[in-house]
Every structure is written in structure tokens, then in C-alpha cells.
Amino acid sequence: MSRRYLLVAAALCALTASCARPAPENDLDALLMPLAGESEARSPVDRQLSAARSLVRGRASDPKGYNLLAAAYMQKAREAGDFKVNEKAMEALDRSLRIAPDNYDALKLRAKLLLTFHRFEEGLAVARHAQSINPDDHDNYGAMTDALVELGEYAAAVEVAQRMVDLRPDTSSYSRVSYLRWLHGDDQGAVEAMRVAAQSANPQDPERVAWCHVQLGDALLHTGKREEAEREFDRALYVFPGYGAALGAKARARAAAGDFEGALDIYRREYEAGPSADTALALGDLYAKLGRADEANRHYASFETLEPENAAAENDMHHLVAYWTDHDKNLDEALALARKERARRKDIYTCDTLAWALYKKGLHAEAKAAADEALRLGTRDPKLLFHAGMIAYALGDRDGGARYLRQALAINPQFDVRQADAARRTLEGRAA
Amino acid sequence: MRRFRRTLSFVVALGLLATALGAVPGLLPAARASSHREAPLISADPLADNTDLYAFVSPDRANTVTVLANFIPLEEPASGPNFFKFDDNVLYQIRFDNNGDARLDLAIEFRFRTVVGNGDTFLYNTNTIDNLSDPDWNVKQFMDVTARIRQGDPNNPTFTTFNLGTNLPTPPVNIGPRSTPNYETNLAVPSISTVPTGAGDIKLFAGQRDEGFYVDLGSAFDLLGLRPFNPAHLAPLPTSNGVDATAGYNVHTIAIQIPTQLLTATGALPTGPTDPNAIIGVYSTASRPSTRVLNTNGTQTQTGNCANGQGIPTADPTCVQVSRLANPLFNELLIPIGTSPTVSENDKDLYNAQLPATDVNRIDYVRGTASRGVEPVRLINLLYPPVLDAPTSGRNDLVRVFLTGVPGATRPPVQNDPADPSAGPGAVPSELMRLNVAVPATAPGSVNRLGVIGGDLAGYPNGRRVGDDVVDITLRVAAGVLLPGNACAGGTANCNQAPNNQLGDGVTQNDKPFRTSFPYLATPWSGYENPFHGRECSSTPDAPCPSPSPSPRP
């Protein structure tokens, strides 16, 4: 349960004496206990949760109920942005697989869930096991694609995604096609596939529709079409009001338009509704950009408090390492963690994080090797290009560095609240 | 147009209100943006999900056949702001076999194109939609319909394309009395297109309709409960009336009414029900284009709704059939979902992707074997002890209903029939809806919802009319009512007696009367007026709001 839920629960408790709810008798009761704030009348996912709980209570030895419960908890975590709910999903799947070790639905869900926990190798292994049971289920190829992308096995990812879209073209396969095209530098092809994905999405699943529009907006942003991109974020908020992923995207689009106050406003309202590490960091950077150092530091401090909990839950130090590196803090620890992650996987973002950490420690030659790896697919991501550019400058390659920086700024002149300015300063020959 | 000048600002205000509500702390907190890109969890594709197929001799227009195919299951009428429409990326097809070889002879193809009038608003309509060209209707959808007709040798077919219409209108969804008043008169009926041919007019329609399938899902999914037979269930409950779980929902329908001679193999009207050319097989499909993940030349790939010249099965690997339907309940009841550890038995997706000629491989699911009985028959025997046990294997009667046609009624002369050595040799058993087009339509007052088993030869499984009670028919047929002699109770009793021939879910009619003319399915429920999914209520305890609507069909 997130801190926010605890707070809400405490408030409700004071008002209605609902805190008199009896303590769970055993683990199963804990697993089946409704989350604070659930409302069957309001939310389809809450209805799913309730139905799955009834099924488990009615037939505790049937794996199906646990599978449905896990799927509902996973969707709940996704919609509510409450990562901890995934732990309940994992427990439900553990129970299902104890009852029937090779039951396909549980294996398939477990593969997806392991990816959520950033346990990519394990997720891939479970998905492959599921594939050996049912080789024709396109859905499972989605999990395999995601795992391979995260591990940096791009050729294999493309192969699996091709099998997926040939088995069944639909939103889930088109959206993978889009991402792989984008990673390989085909911005226009990415936009096109994501547009089809958005059009094909289930209209009765607003979160999915909104998710597609956020992805489409991001793809458009990468082709320099900021206004069209922002319109997609607005559409996402229109079909699924209050959607966190869309609010963040909308704020980024505002910042990209140079409307920092507008971006600040969105993040501030989100932060006041419930502080999250991501929002804290975005606010910190925006306040810093606007020269409001006290407020910036307060939000950086908030990030430093909130993020470690996320990092532990998600088994993912990436955000923390990127923050340290960007803000010149804990650089030794950052580099050590980046090296450790690079030993575990070789996706372009892990390579990029390592490159940037090496650069900050002055290990420029090694940084260049890592940056080259990060750009090995030709991905047109301004942040990757910015890092490569700064590293080239550090190695005395002014022409190469300038080329990268200009490329980054051409894709999106405001690609990052801090780094876009640093790129411009460097190009103008001033200190970054 | 004339009324409600202030509608726009009012709707905008509502939208903002919704946005504000969504941001209430604790209800929808900000998502943690994950550092890896998490695609949606569930892969449902309702826009390409074929739910029901109807094929019947038109009761109000002699010598024409009507075929309706429904998509997008259980549309909630109050679904704004994300209103339903056909998917511009999907190829929707009705396919015919008219010579009994289980191969394609004619396909009617529907493709859709959405046109947004005013790109500055997300609103579906900015004021009342009075007619099909009303500029206040912002999200219009037009359709192109083509006929693809086999020429020459069935073993080496080529297909000729005939354009039946481009940019044909489709109606908006039924929103309510302010947005879509007089829906049927102003919007639905004017969307019917007429295409003149030498044999008479073809009529075309595509748009939202009331869900015409009626079934007590809530009870059926509770261990195959049939409320009128509740006391006879293994877990008895008091008898009660059936509950129509699909009441108050809509679907999207593609519809064609076509002169009969345009469907037959000879191009002529059959001389009578025994004319070998009187029997046609029908099924409907939805297909989506596949695409190359990466393009070798670095440029983008075209996607699109299996564009012109594509979409003919087996000839076009880039166009993937994702949904197929002929007989109601066939995939739901007879195709196994499988259980671990041999989930490779899960045949539902493969069934959707394949052609009818492959169904010969599914014959054991329908007929049953000693080691593996027909699933629904097993369940009925088990759960209803008073029912005379019907045989769970060797069910050639079921094979005939679903895979070959019934001799003397819907079995084409060249059709192989495993229970009849004199039949064929010809086509392999294949799951098609078979219609004898020479059996005249039953007069509206004399229609029996039970079709053939109710003595009404113009109903299911001779094709399917909009009102046919396919749930009760299928239950009774599963319980053996078509089996001759003493086949039930271990070979001691004729199956066609009570309670076997009385089984039913207690829902015997649709929630709305059907139209008496094309496209027959009833006008869709509007989001505003829906007695099933919402009635006026208050938050005070003495007038509580109704409980949530029934769970969706899986």
C-alpha cells in the first residue's frame, strides 16, 4: 500500500470508524483484502478485482481465480500508479503456480510481471517456457519482445515482434512495431504504426486508448511535431482524465514549447495530489531552470527521499543513477552501479547511462565506447545524442560533438529542461 | 443545428468537470512513469471481434437473402467521450460458398474511413445531428463496399472485383435525444444504400444496432445455470425467470440484402428446396494488415485495411484474419480452451485465423470420442441429473448441424457426411452457416423462435433469423433432440422428450422488438435512454442506484 493510500485510509478511519476492520487471519485474507479507495461503481478494474476475489474464495484450489486476481492487480498497479500492488499480483501467481506448476495463463502473466520488476532474464525464461507450451499465442511474444529489448538483444526482439504481428496484428503488436522502428531510427514508421495502434485500441479500455495516444505523442515529439504531439497528450487526457502518464507528457510538451510555468503548474498539481519521485525531480529541474534554487533543492530532496523506495521495489537503480550523474552527486557510486547494470544487460539506455557516468568521472575514452554502443541502432533520441556530443567535445572532437548537439536540438529544441541549454551553451563555445 | 446553441460550451464544461474529478487525490494518483515501456496488459480486440452472424430469406422481400454480421461485443451505449465506430484498419468480410466445396466463391467486403470535420475539437458532435451531412457531427465514417467474385476453376481461382459503392454513408452512434433525435428516421434509415443490378436492388448498411443476441450469461457462467431449471441443477436453487444479460447493449452491424440469384452457383433462382444449388454456406470475418517490423530500405511501410486487391484468404499473407464466425456458440462451446499442461489444445485463436476447410480437423470436438466427450453435452448430463443423459460421443447429429448441413435441408449434394456413405464424395466437413435459399420465409406471425426443432423450417439451423433462440435450440440439440431412436439414458429412451426438449435459459426474446425490414436488428439504445444500464437514482439510502451492469461476455 502506498503512503498516499495509508494517508487516505487514516483519514477515512477518523471519519467513519472503518479502521475497525478485523486484522487478516492468514496470508490469503491479506491477499484478498480490498485496497483502500477501491470503488466497484467507479472503476472497471475494481470490479475485476472484486470478481476475482469471489472466485478465489469460492474455489481456493482453482488456479484460474488467482490468475484473474493477478491480472486485475497488475492492471490496478498500472492505472493507479501504485507499484506495490504488483507484489500482490506476484503472490497470487505464486499461489496459482503452486496449485498447477505449468498452467499457461499464470506463466504468461508471471513473465509480464517479472518484466515489471525489471527481472528481464527471468521474465524471458518464463515467457520461453510458456512459448514451449503454446507457440501460437501472440500475446506471449509481446512479453518476449519487451524482455529482449530491455536486454539489448534487438535482432532477436525484431524477429519475435515480427512473429507477433504476423500471428495477430492488433494494438499490442503494432505498438511494439512502433517502438522497435523508433529505436532503429525510423521515426516516421514509428508514428505510423503507433497511429494504427491507437485507432485499433479497445474503446472500452480508456487507459489503453490513452496509453496509445501518449506513445503516439512521444513519437511525434521525436519527429519535431510538437503541436501535433501535444494534441495527442490532450486527447489522452480527454479519454482518460487524470491519467498520470499523459499529465507528465503534457507537462513535457509545455516545457518543450518554452512554457515552463505551464509545465510547472501541471507538475505542481500532480505533486500536491500525491508526491511521486518523478514529479519531484521534474519540479526540481523546472525550478532550477527558473532560477528558484530553494524550491528546486526542496524538490530534489524530496526525490532523494522517495526514489530509493521505488528503486528497491522495482529492482531498478536507473533513475537514481541518472539523477546523480546529471546533478554531479555520488559520482563514484553512480559509476559503479552503471557498470554493474551494464554487466547485466546491454540495451542502449544502459549503455548511455554508463557513458554519461564515465564522462562525469573524466573517463572520456571509455565513455565514447559506451556512447557508440548507445547509438548503435541509430536511435534519434536527443538525450543520447547530447551525451555523445559532450563526450566528443571532451575528447577534442569539436566537429563531431557539434554535429551530435545540433542533431539533438534539431529533433527537439527543448528536449530537456537542463540539457538543451547546456547543448546550446556548448555549441556557442561557452562552458556547458 | 437549430436547437441548443449553447450545447458546445456546456459539453466543454462537462469535459473539464470530468478532468477535475479524475484528478481527485487518491482516486487516480499520478502514475509512476516506468523506466521501461510497459505495453497494455490485456490483448482484447473488440473492433475486430465478430460476435454474431445472421443469414435468412428476407421476410418482406421475396427472392432476396439478408446477411448481417455483428462486431464489437457489448457496447455500452453511454460510452462517451470514446464512442464506438468501425476500425478504419480492419477489413470486414461476409464470405459465401455456393457450390458446397467449402471454398470461397463470393466475398462482400466493407472498408471504413473516418473523416473528422473540425480538428480543433475532440467532440463527436458539437450540436444536434439532424441528418447525415450535418456539419455539427464531427466524426463521420464512410464506407467502401466491394464484391469479389470467383471466376473459373475452383482449384485455381481468380477473383474479379466489383465496386458496389464508395463513400457510402454510415450513421453516427445513438447518443441521446439532444445529439441524435429521431435516430432511426433521421440517421439510420437514410444510411441504407441501394445498388441497382440487373437482378434487382442490393441494399447495404453498416452502423450501430441493438444487440439482438439474447442470453442469460450471468446464470450460464454460474455452472451452466438455467434459471427455469434451477431445482434440477446439481446445486439446486429456486426456479426463476431468465435474465437477458445482453439487454441494453449495442453492437456494430454490417448488412447486405442481395437478390438470391446473385448468390447461387448458377446465377439463377433455385427451382425448389431440393435444387442442388439451393444451399449456400456463409461465414463472416475480420482481418488486419500485418507489417514489416523493420523496413530493409529504411522507409516506412504502408499499413491500411488490407487495401485493394488484398484480403482474399491464402492469396494474401499480409492480411491476417483475426476473427471468424458462422454458427452461434460454436467457438464458445465446442472449441476447447484447454487446460494445463497441454494448453496447445487451446484452439480458439487458431479457429479464428483459419478457413472453414480446416474444420475437418475439429470434427472430434463436435462428434466426441470415447476418451473425450462433447464438452457441453458432458456438462448438461453432469449438472442436470433429471436430464436423460445424451450420448457424449459419436454425435453425428451435431456434426451435421455445424459441419456438413442436415440431409434433406441444408446439406449440399457434394458434401461428405461421415454418417452417410451415400453422400459426396466432395467437400470436407467445414463449419459454415448453411441456408437453403429456396425455403420461403415464414410469415411474421407464424415464426417459431426454436426454428427447425420447433417445426419452423425457415429458422436456425437453416440459416439464422434475428429472433431465433439459438441458446435454447443449441441446448436442446446438445441434449439429443435430433437423435433418432432410443439414444438417451444409455440407449433406453428417445431424447426428444421432457426435460431434454424443454431446456432453455428462460430468455425467449430480445430486449427490443426487431425491425420488420432491412436491416432488421433494432434501433440501438442511446446513452441517454437505457432502462437496463441506469435509471434515475439518488445517493440517499431510500432510493439507491442500481447495481453495476452484468459482466462482459468473454
**C-alpha–C-alpha distance, residues B498 and B500, integer Å:** 5
List the single best residue of A2, A83, A85, A177 to mutate versus B (max B Cβ within 10 A).
A177
Q: Label residue B311 by pLDDT band (50, 70, 90).
A: low
Q: Give the model's pLDDT for residue B37.
A: 52
C-alpha cell belonging to residue A174:
503494432
List the single range of A366-370, A373-377, B26-30 with lowest mean pLDDT: B26-30
List the single range of A64-68, A81-85, B85-89 with lowest mean pLDDT: A81-85
Q: Label residue B441 by pLDDT band (50, 70, 90).
A: very high
**Which among B43, B75, B298 has CB closest to A139?**
B43
A161 touches chain B (CB under 8 A): yes
List the single range of B55-64, B114-123, B312-321, B327-336 with lowest mean pLDDT: B312-321
**Residues of B with Cβ-Cβ distance to A78 under 8 angstroms:** 31, 38, 41
Q: Label residue A6 by pLDDT band (50, 70, 90).
A: very low
The answer to whether B112 and B88 have CB atoms below 8 angstroms apart is yes
**C-alpha–C-alpha distance, residues A274 and A43, integer Å:** 20
AA identity, residue B351: Y
Decide the pairing of beta strands B158-169 and B193-197. unpaired
Q: Give the model's pLDDT for residue B317.
A: 67
Residues in chain A: 432
C-alpha cell belonging to residue A251:
507537462
**Residues of A with Cβ-Cβ distance to B295 under 8 angstroms:** 186, 189
Q: Which of A226, A247, A228, A229 is nearest to A237 (CA)?
A: A247
- Whether the predicted pLDDT of A59 surpasses 60: yes
**Residues of A with Cβ-Cβ distance to B307 under 8 angstroms:** none
A83 touches chain B (CB under 8 A): yes
Q: What is the DSSP string of B414-479?
A: TB--TT-TTS-SSBPP---EEEETTSPPPPGGG--TTGGGGT-TTSTTSSB-TT--HHHHHHHHHT
Q: Give the model's pLDDT for residue A29.
A: 83
Q: Label residue B31 by pLDDT band (50, 70, 90).
A: very low
Asked if the Cβ–Cβ distance from A244 to B28 is below 8 Å, we say: yes
Q: Give the model's pLDDT for residue A283.
A: 97
Q: Give the model's pLDDT for residue B157.
A: 84
- The residue-averaged pLDDT of A44-65 equals 85
- The residue-averaged pLDDT of B280-298 equals 86
**% of chain B beyond a pLDDT of 70:** 83
A131 touches chain B (CB under 8 A): no
**Which among B81, B294, B301 has CB closest to A184?**
B294
List the single range of A71-85, A236-250, B173-187 with lowest mean pLDDT: A71-85
- Whether the predicted pLDDT of B303 surpasses 90: no
The answer to whether A289 and A417 have CB atoms below 8 angstroms apart is yes
pLDDT digits (tens, 9 = 90+) for A317-362: 999 999 999 999 999 999 999 999 999 999 999 999 999 999 999 9
pLDDT digits (tens, 9 = 90+) for A249-302: 999 999 999 999 999 999 999 999 888 899 999 999 999 999 999 999 999 999
Q: Give the model's pLDDT for residue B314.
A: 56
- Whether the predicted pLDDT of B290 surpasses 70: yes
The answer to whether A69 and A30 have CB atoms below 8 angstroms apart is no
pLDDT digits (tens, 9 = 90+) for B486-539: 999 999 999 999 999 999 999 999 999 999 999 999 999 999 988 787 655 555
Q: Give the model's pLDDT for residue A14.
A: 37
Q: A22-27 contacts: CB < 8 A, separation 24 or more?
A: A27/A91
- Whether the predicted pLDDT of A43 surpasses 80: no
Q: Label residue B188 by pLDDT band (50, 70, 90).
A: very high
- Whether the predicted pLDDT of B300 surpasses 60: no
List the single best residue of B12, B21, B24, B28 to mutate versus A (max A Cβ within 10 A).
B28
User: In chain B, which residue's Cα lies nearest the Cα of A272?
Assistant: B25
List the single range of A111-120, B10-19, B241-250, B302-311 with lowest mean pLDDT: B10-19
- The residue-averaged pLDDT of A127-150 equals 92
Asked if the Cβ–Cβ distance from B47 to A175 is below 8 Å, we say: no
Asked if the Cβ–Cβ distance from A192 to B15 is below 8 Å, we say: no
Q: Give the model's pLDDT for residue A47.
A: 83
Q: Give the model's pLDDT for residue B299.
A: 46
pLDDT digits (tens, 9 = 90+) for B69-79: 999 998 999 88
Q: Give the model's pLDDT for residue B539.
A: 54
- Whether the predicted pLDDT of A136 surpasses 70: yes
**C-alpha–C-alpha distance, residues B453 and B434, integer Å:** 16
**Residues of B with Cβ-Cβ distance to A184 under 8 angstroms:** 294
Q: Which of A62, A30, A204, A175 is nearest to B47 (CA)?
A: A204
List the single best residue of A38, A59, A134 to mutate versus B (max B Cβ within 10 A).
A134
**% of chain A beyond a pLDDT of 90:** 70
**Which among B46, B301, B545 has CB closest to A189?**
B301
By the 10 Å C-beta count (0-12 exposed, 13-18 middle, 19+ buried), A247 is classed as buried
**Which among B317, B339, B350 has CB closest to A136?**
B350
How many interchain CB pairs under 8 A, A with B? 252
The answer to whether A163 and A193 have CB atoms below 8 angstroms apart is no
**C-alpha–C-alpha distance, residues B414 and B307, integer Å:** 34
Q: Which residue has the higher pLDDT, B543 or B469?
A: B469
- Whether the predicted pLDDT of B19 surpasses 50: no
pLDDT digits (tens, 9 = 90+) for A159-184: 999 999 999 999 999 999 999 999 99
List the single range of A354-358, B57-61, B154-158 with lowest mean pLDDT: B154-158
Scan for cell 441446448, then name that residue. Answer: B475
List the single best residue of A191, A195, A196 to mutate versus B (max B Cβ within 10 A).
A196
Angle, alpha carbons B318-B324-B330 (nearest 5°): 155
Asked if the Cβ–Cβ distance from A42 to B33 is below 8 Å, we say: no
Q: What are phi and psi of A5, to 5 degrees?
A: -65, -40
C-alpha cell belonging to residue B228:
427455469
The answer to whether A10 and A2 have CB atoms below 8 angstroms apart is no
Asked if the Cβ–Cβ distance from A134 to B28 is below 8 Å, we say: no
A250 touches chain B (CB under 8 A): no
A163 touches chain B (CB under 8 A): no
- The residue-averaged pLDDT of A66-92 equals 89
Helices (H), A118-259: 120-133, 138-151, 154-167, 171-183, 187-200, 206-222, 226-239, 244-256
pLDDT digits (tens, 9 = 90+) for B244-272: 888 999 999 999 999 999 999 999 999 99
**Residues of B with Cβ-Cβ distance to A314 under 8 angstroms:** 34-35
Q: Give the model's pLDDT for residue B183.
A: 98
User: In chain A, which residue's Cα lies nearest the Cα of B338?
Assistant: A104
**C-alpha–C-alpha distance, residues A48 and A33, integer Å:** 14
Q: How many CB atoms lie within 10 A of CB A61?
A: 8
Average pLDDT, chain B: 84
**Which among B26, B41, B303 has CB closest to A71?**
B41
Asked if the Cβ–Cβ distance from A179 to B37 is below 8 Å, we say: yes
Asked if the Cβ–Cβ distance from B23 to A188 is below 8 Å, we say: no
- Whether the predicted pLDDT of B27 surpasses 50: no
**Residues of B with Cβ-Cβ distance to A167 under 8 angstroms:** 320, 353
List the single best residue of A199, A207, A377 to mutate versus B (max B Cβ within 10 A).
A199
Q: What are phi and psi of B263, to 5 degrees?
A: -100, -25
